[in-house]
Amino acid sequence: MVGAPVPVAAITDASFGGRYPQTMARRCARPDCGDLATTTLAYDYSSSTVWIAHLSDEGHPMTHDLCPRHADCLSVPRGWQLRDRRDVVPLPLFGNEALAS
């Protein structure tokens, strides 16, 4: 039946100790892929640059969420730069942790 509501499944999140609707989990933006997104892709036409980073806190119409498989095999047009920010670990700015390294 076209337009019929789809039941919302619930998935368990151990870190919250509860359940939340699956609609809160963001999915890969690639067609025919329903995997969970772990990466956000953003781009800037003026500098011909594409960035991929860990999944952003909120979705935005000008970014695309990707699953690990599609993020890892991403290619950009000739002349564009790909900046992978997934491996960047933020350093502490102050406190005892900053002096430990």
69 belongs to a structural domain = yes
17 belongs to a structural domain = no
pTM: 0.61
64 belongs to a structural domain = yes
1 belongs to a structural domain = no
* pLDDT grade for 79, boundaries at 50, 70 and 90: very high
Residue 68 is predicted with a pLDDT of 95
74 belongs to a structural domain = yes
Structural domains of the chain, count: 1
Give the closest residue to 6 by CA, choosing from 21, 26, 27. Answer: 21
21 belongs to a structural domain = no
Which domain range does residue 73 map to? Answer: 26-88
Structure tokens given for 22: 């699956």
What type of residue is 61? P
36 belongs to a structural domain = yes
